[in-house]
Structure formats: structure tokens, C-alpha cells
Amino acid sequence: METKGSSPCPYTAAVRRNPHRKARATPFSTAPVSLLQPSASPPQNIPSFPIEEILSMEVPEKKLTEASSENLKVFMRIRTLNIQRETLKKVSEMKKTKNTWPKNPKSTNALPKKLKKSNEVCVTVNDAHSVTVSPPQSLQDGKRIKSEVYQGFSQVFSSEASQREVYEKMVSPLVEDLLNGRSGMLAALGPSGSGKTHTIFGCGRDPGMVPLALGRILSQEDNKMQSQRIFYLSMFEISSEKGKSEKIFDLLKDGADLFIHQSSIKGMREAILYDPLQAESLIASGLLKRATAMTNSNNQSSRSQCIINIRCEYKEVNGEVGDNSNSAVLTIVDLAGAEREKKTGNQGIRLLESNFINNTSMVFGLCLRSLLEHQKNPRKPMRKHFQNSLLTRYLRDYLEGKKRMALLLTVRPGEEDYLDTSFLLRQASPYTKIKFDIIEEHGILNHNKRPVQRTPSYVQLKRMKLSKNEDSEINQGSDECPQLLNKEAAAKGMKDVSLTDARVQSEEIISIEANVGNILRVDQVELERKERNHHILQNFGKALWKVLKEYKKKLEVAENEICTLRNCLTSEKSRSAELENQLRDWQSNCCCREGKKSLDCEVAENETCTPRDHITNEKTRFSKLEYELRDWRSNCSSRKGILSEVSFREVDEFERKDLEDHQSNDYNKVESSTGDATAAEDQENTNELNAASPQWNGKEPAVLSGSCSSTDQEYRRKEESFVSKLSTFQVTFVDRDMDTLLEEDHSPFDSVLPECCTISTAKSSLSFENNSSFLVGEDQTENKEDKLVTKIMELNNSHPNLYFQVGKNWVRKKLIRLNCKLTRS
Ligand SMILES: Nc1ncnc2c1ncn2[C@@H]1O[C@H](COP(=O)(O)OP(=O)(O)OP(=O)(O)O)[C@@H](O)[C@H]1O
């Protein structure tokens, strides 16, 4: 079977049985292109499961409310320096004429000194959200105090900022919230004379936040909405009586006393608002009743905390007003400015007032600080500082971060106000980090009602018990906060047993509430954790679904492929059967041994040869043999018994056997060997040599005819057949390399083939005569023959292109392989 050099069959696929998983090639790399056509689109590589991506996915934090991430808005307003100077000047002049209160020897001398000072400022605005506070030169030199930068403010209003501008940025959002049914609070903090009251109330020409808010609320109200909503105004102040106890006065009710019960003021008058003018007149009359006094810092210094409530209430469906459950409140607080005794020079009652004012400011600040710390570290319980003043008790919900709130810090920019300004900003700037993480979702709130408590009922009960105690104390006329009471008791050296009991109970309640608060916080953390897990699982599920979808797509493509491959396999099987049939036919028709042999071999799966190739090859071989046979037949006349044959035994066994085979098959095949010319070459050379023969001096070339050898037995037979015809002959050789006729004298056979040689026919042996001829005779020995053979071999070696005549043709044959027959032509 011939397999070498045949081209690979396009219809055969090399399939390794049970290949290794990793080594198994994808069908696309080996399958014919046509097989891929049915696939709609080549499948994409499926990405690995994005587990890391899922785990790193950002899970949105729990959004409690719309404003859950909202920080406490802290605004800052810097008062005009010139006005400050003028005010101080005015105070100085008034003091000279009126001498309102006893002079403080320390302050009287200090004031003119400061007035003389330059227009240096201690506060400079860096940008809309930060300021730098620089100490005066004297402090910088002596105490090495450096400038400080305070930032994070919602807005810094410079001394040039107008009331309208402040309103738009600071109060307008709160007013809009109120109109949308959400409560809010604005509190103004700052040292005395820094412009809190001016900002909150303003003056006739320059209205402040309250008049502007009322104007917005009442003038913008369209008829339809007005028919649904009612606005109420209440205004009260909290002041101290001789600096000892706190009192609440209704400023709309001719200064009537009020009392507070659980953050709600009892007996307070609420005036219905109709129009801005009416509202303004109410405010103005209320302000007239407010406690003010002239101090060194301010000629009309507020001596009380003033609270204004603008309540918006929705009417019931039947037009009746409800029970405050559908209301929102905007609370604006004008705190009395913190005062330094050194600076104000207050004495006596003013000094007591100052203590009260400073105390309230301090408690207010402590509440905010506690809220901030609690928010930073939820494990830290929120301290109940609000209990220490009426104002903070009233504003408890705001100070516990349950309602939206904004702060306004007012400062004086003069260098003499450095300490006040620096102190305020240092205390209040951290409040910018306070967050409102628990804000009621409902638009309309009952501002006087506490929000639903999440603490267990027993805590509520205890708190009620404590409240009863407190109330009883208040009813008994002791309105002071526990801290003040304590101080008073300590001063008097009295032991108030009931108060101590109440305090112990209070502490118990506080600790219980703190624990409950912790439990609730833990619950909340757990809830958040669960929600986060839920989000992660959701994302996981989504990603899993995505990957599964891709796998499904891939599976569909693979199924299509399998289907296509199955079809191909079926067609290949039918084709294989067809080829087998063809092969069988060919086998039955072929008489060639090789062909039959090849048929016995089965074509391996991975072999590229096919029966068709074999058939083609065999056909070619057969036609070649036929051609050679024809050629041989045409040349070989000696086969008909004319020629004598001389056999050489040196013909190797293989060729001999081959020859025998062919003879036995009646092929008469002539094997060409190295140095033999093809039939076409021989023909060409014959023509050429025949044409050139006249040049060879008319000598007729002798014929050295080649013939097939035969066995000794046959040789003998053939030899006997032409004994009588042997005669002398002449041999002519042509060396085609030199294209010359070899003369007899120069004949390579000169030494062995004589001009005339006699061949004895009696014996089958050759003999030499005179070294130039040989005879075949009885007396010749066989070794002569050997010599001839040797000579012929030498001739072959020296003349590879030696032609001799065979019949009428010149052929190139190696003599060694011929059984020479010498005869005359
Ligand atoms: N931005 C300002 N523009 C014009 N005048 C101002 C401004 N700020 C303050 N004033 C004036 O300064 C004086 C003191 O201001 P205001 O009474 O508002 O201070 P205060 O902070 O309320 O002081 P206190 O705490 O003692 O009541 C007032 O006469 C006020 O008109």
C-alpha cells in the first residue's frame, strides 16, 4: 500500500479515541469550516463567576429618612465692625449721662482704650464655608497664640451680607419645610452684642428673619391653601428671677407666667395670623415686653431667651381645627448672648442674669456636645443635659437630634472680641458634624407632643413617675433646674431628702434608659447587618442569574453543534460505505498482485491515503509498465530466436528473482537501473546517432544487443539455438558524453573485444585471443569469462553514458546488467 506523499484527505478527521480532557481540542479547531456554518454566532467565553465583584459591591447604607445624611446646618454671621464701634461709643456716652448701673472700675478704663484701637479685625472670611480667627498682636506676642481656621459652616455671612441674603440661605429652607408640613428650629448663639436679635427680628427698615418668614408665609399663601391651613404665632421668653429660678413669660399675653410640662408649655397664647402686618405688630409688641437692659456690650442687651413659634395647622375636612396632631412648627430662638463679666462689668442683678444666661448657653452647648458624642459612639449614652434648663427641656427633641435644626453663630469681628469669638467658634464648630439620623417621616407633626417612644413601657412608667415628682416640685414653686437647686441647697446646708430620692430615681431611670438605648442600638445594628446581608444576597442572586443565562446560551450553541456533527457523521458513514463498495469492485477487477495485496490492507482511521489514491497510483504504474513492455518488445528481436545470449551470473539475486517473477507473469519487464536511459532518451539518441553515422567513416556499427538474462538453464537453451549463426563481429560504441564514435582501436573493449572475435558455440565459455579477441571454444577456461565481466564493469564505470546498439536503436545500458549477445546487425 502506498501512503507516502499522498495529500491528506479532506473528508477524514483525525480522532483520538478517549483523549485527555485537557488535550481534547474544541470542535472548532479541527472541524471543517463548513461544519461551523450552522452555528448562528460563535459562543463567547463565559467569564468566571464574579464572586469577588459581588462581595466588593457597595451596599447602600440604610436610609432612614430623606434627611438621614443631613448634617446640622451651622451658619455664621459676622457683625459690621463700624456699627460695633458706634454702639460701644453710644454706650459709653449713655453711661456718662445716665449711669445706668454701678460702674465697674475695671471696665470703665478699659473701654476707651479699646475704642482708640485700630480697625483691626480678628475674623477673616476665607470662603463661604470657613473663617480664620487671628489673635490680636498683643496676644500673639505674649502667649504665642496662633491663628485658627474654622471650617465646615453651611454658610459664612460676612459683615456686608444683607438680611434678605441671610434669610434666603438660612431661613427660607426652614420656611419651605414648614409649608410642606415639617417642623424645624433655628437658634441664634453668640456673645452679647454680636447681632443675634438684629438678625432674628431686625428693625423697621431692615426686617430680620422672623418678619421675613412671616411675610413669606402669609403673603405667598394662595386662597385655596389658606382655606386649608391656619398659622399661629406664639412668643414667650425664659428668664431668671434674680438669677435663681427660671420663669417662662408669654410675650403675647402681657407677660403671663407659663409652665412647662414634658417639653410642652401650658397656657401659652397662640395668635392666629392673618396677614404680615398683623404678624409684625404682634412681634413688635412681644419684643417690647421682652426683658432687655443696657450693658457695656450692648445698649439693648437681651436678658432672656426668646422663643417664637409659627405653627401651621391643617384644617379638618369639615373645616374644624384639629387637636394639633396635623401641625408643623417653625421655632426661632434668640438666645441671650453669653457675657464675660470682665468685659461687661456687670454687677448685682445683672451679674446674676449673666450667670443665668451663661448657664443656659452652657447647657444648650452641652446638649449638642452630648448628641455629637453619642452619634460618634452609639455605645456612649446621651447625657440628659437638657434637664438642666427650661429652654433645653423645651427644645429636647431638637437637641436629641429628632427634629431638623439649624444654628446661627453671630460674632463680632473686632480684635477686642477675639476671646469671645474664638471661644464660641471652638465650642460650636464641631456641631457641624451632628447628623439628624432619626427624623420623623411625617410631614405634619404635633410639636407639643413627644414622638412615639420606642422604649419599653416600664421605662415610660418610671419616667412618668419622675415627671410627677418634678411637676410637684414645679407646682410648689421651685422652678429651678436640679443643678441650681442643688447649688442652693448646698449653700444653705440643707438636706432635701425628697429631692435626693428623686435624684436617685432619676439616675436609675437614666441608667435604665441608657441600657434600653443600648439594646435598641444593638437591635438597629443587627437590623442594618441583616439588611446588608440581604443586599449582598440579592446581588449574588443577580450575578448568578447572569452567569446561568450565559451558560444557557452556550449550551444552546453546543447542542446545535452536536446536531451538525451528527449529520456530518451520518454523511461520512454513507460515503465510507460507498468507498468500500468501490474498493471491493476494484479488488474484484484487479488482477495485479500489488493491488490485491493493497486491498487486503484496511485503511486506518488516521491515515490520509484512500483506495482512490491507490487506484490512481496503480494505474500509473501499470501504464508505465505497459509502455516499457511495448518499448522492449519493439527492440527485442532476439526474443524470436535469432539472437544468441550470453548470460552473466553476476546479476544479483534480487533482480534475477524479479526477472523471474515477471517472466513467469509474462511481463517481459526490463528493469532500468542506475545509468540506464529512459526509452524516450534512447529514441532520441538513436535518431541522433543514426544521423551522425555517416561521419563514422562509413563503418557500420556493430550491435551489442541487450537482452534479458535468463537462468543458466535457459541460457543454455538459447545458446544452443543460435550456435550455428555465430560469427565474427565488430562492435561499435558511442560515448555520448563526448559524443564521439569510439573506434575499434580505441574501443573500451580493445583489450577484451577483438576486431574480429570468434565465439565458439561448442562450449558456453568465452576466451580471449591475443589479448585483443576472444573466442569461445572448448579450450577456453571459465575464468576468461570472469575477466570479460570485470572488463565490462570497468567499462561501465569509465563510460557511464556508453551507448550501444540494440537492434536498430541505440540504448544506454549497463553492460553488467545485460546478458550480452554479440551478433552482427
Ligand atoms: N448686621 C448688623 N447690621 C446692622 N446693625 C447691627 C448688625 N448686627 C448688630 N447690629 C446692631 O448691634 C446692636 C447689638 O445687636 P443685637 O442686640 O442684635 O446683639 P445681640 O447679639 O442680640 O446681643 P444680646 O445678646 O446682648 O442681646 C444692635 O443695635 C443692632 O442694631
CA atoms within 13 A on the CB side of 135: 14
Among 80, 81, 82, 83, the mutation site with the greatest number of ligand 1 atoms within 8 A of its Cβ is 83
CA distances from 157 to 166, 277, 404, 722 (A): 7, 28, 21, 145
Question: What letter would DSSP give residue 47?
Answer: P
What confidence tens digit (pLDDT) does each residue in 572-622 have?
999 999 999 988 888 777 666 555 555 555 444 444 555 667 778 877 888
**Does residue 656 carry a pLDDT above 90?**
no
Give the per-residue pLDDT at 36: 42
Q: Which residue has the higher pLDDT, 697 or 559?
A: 559
Whether the CB of 300 sits within 6 Å of ligand 1: yes
Q: Which residues of 689-698 are buried (b: 16+ CB within 10 A; e: fewer)?
A: beeebeebee
CA 297 to ligand 1 centroid distance, Å: 10
CA 193 to ligand 1 centroid distance, Å: 5
Give the per-residue pLDDT at 729: 35
Grid cell digits, residue 485: 437647686
Give the per-residue pLDDT at 168: 92
Total Cβ atoms within 10 A of residue 128: 12
Task: Return the residue whose CA atom lies nearest to atom 25 of ligand 1.
Answer: 337
CA 101 to ligand 1 centroid distance, Å: 21
What confidence tens digit (pLDDT) does each residue in 189-230 have?
988 888 899 999 988 888 999 999 988 888 765 555 556 788
Among 157, 189, 210, 298, the mutation site with the greatest number of ligand 1 atoms within 8 A of its Cβ is 298
ipTM: 0.97
Among 78, 79, 160, the mutation site with the greatest number of ligand 1 atoms within 8 A of its Cβ is 79
Average pLDDT over the chain, rounded to an integer: 66
Nearest atom, ligand 1, residue 194 CA: 21
Residue 7 marked ligand-binding: no
Nearest atom, ligand 1, residue 338 CA: 25
Model confidence band, residue 472 (pLDDT cutoffs 50, 70, 90)? very low
Burial class from Cβ neighbours inside 10 Å (0-12, 13-18, 19+) for residue 484 reads buried
Question: What letter would DSSP give residue 58?
Answer: P
Give the per-residue pLDDT at 240: 81
Residue 190 marked ligand-binding: yes
CA 410 to ligand 1 centroid distance, Å: 9
Whether the CB of 190 sits within 6 Å of ligand 1: yes
**Does residue 448 carry a pLDDT above 80?**
no
Amino acid found at 574: S
Nearest atom, ligand 1, residue 188 CA: 21
**Does residue 374 carry a pLDDT above 70?**
yes
Give the per-residue pLDDT at 409: 93
Question: What letter would DSSP give residue 74?
Answer: E
Per-residue pLDDT averaged across 120-138, rounded? 85
Nearest atom, ligand 1, residue 335 CA: 25
Task: Return the residue whose CA atom lies nearest to atom 30 of ligand 1.
Answer: 198
Q: Tell me the pairing of strands 184-189 and 405-411.
A: parallel
Total Cβ atoms within 10 A of residue 458: 10
Q: Are 195 and 77 in contact (CB under 8 A)?
A: yes
Give the per-residue pLDDT at 567: 93
Instruction: Name the strand (E) or helix (H) holding 334.
Output: strand 327-334
Lowest mean pLDDT among 149-158, 246-255, 367-376, 787-796: 787-796
Q: Which residue has the higher pLDDT, 544 or 784?
A: 544
Residue 706 marked ligand-binding: no
Model confidence band, residue 731 (pLDDT cutoffs 50, 70, 90)? very low
Give the per-residue pLDDT at 499: 58
Grid cell digits, residue 318: 369639615
Task: Return the residue whose CA atom lies nearest to atom 15 of ligand 1.
Answer: 195
Task: Return the residue whose CA atom lies nearest to atom 9 of ligand 1.
Answer: 195
SS3 120: coil
Give the per-residue pLDDT at 680: 75
Give the per-residue pLDDT at 32: 43
**Does residue 805 carry a pLDDT above 60?**
no
What are the beta bridge partners of residue 273? Answer: 231
Per-residue pLDDT averaged across 326-345, rounded? 80
CA 412 to ligand 1 centroid distance, Å: 10
Beta strands in 31-151 (DSSP E): 73-78, 123-127, 130-133, 148-151
Provide the percentage of residues in the chain whose pLDDT is more than 70: 48
Full set of structural domains in the chain with CATH? 73-440 (3.40.850.10), 642-823 (no CATH)
Spatial distance between the Cα atoms of 481 and 12, rounded to a whole number of angstroms: 103
Residue with cell 431686625: 202
Per-residue pLDDT averaged across 697-710, rounded? 38
Model confidence band, residue 520 (pLDDT cutoffs 50, 70, 90)? confident
Q: Are 521 and 376 in contact (CB under 8 A)?
A: no
Whether the CB of 305 sits within 6 Å of ligand 1: no
Give the per-residue pLDDT at 95: 56
Whether the CB of 336 sits within 6 Å of ligand 1: yes
Whether the CB of 474 sits within 6 Å of ligand 1: no
Residue 467 marked ligand-binding: no
What confidence tens digit (pLDDT) does each residue in 624-653 have?
887 877 777 666 544 333 333 333 333 344
Whether the CB of 301 sits within 6 Å of ligand 1: yes
CA distances from 366 to 165, 187, 388, 427, 612 (A): 30, 15, 10, 10, 105
Residue 255 marked ligand-binding: no
Grid cell digits, residue 383: 447625657
Whether the CB of 83 sits within 6 Å of ligand 1: yes
Give the per-residue pLDDT at 157: 92
- Phi and psi at 118, nearest 5°, equal -70, 175
Give the per-residue pLDDT at 172: 92
Residue with cell 456554518: 37
Whether the CB of 196 sits within 6 Å of ligand 1: yes
Total Cβ atoms within 10 A of residue 274: 12
Model confidence band, residue 350 (pLDDT cutoffs 50, 70, 90)? confident
Per-residue pLDDT averaged across 407-429, rounded? 88
Give the per-residue pLDDT at 4: 42
Lowest mean pLDDT among 85-94, 396-405, 479-488, 508-517: 479-488
Per-residue pLDDT averaged across 409-430, rounded? 87
Lowest mean pLDDT among 283-287, 382-386, 550-554: 382-386
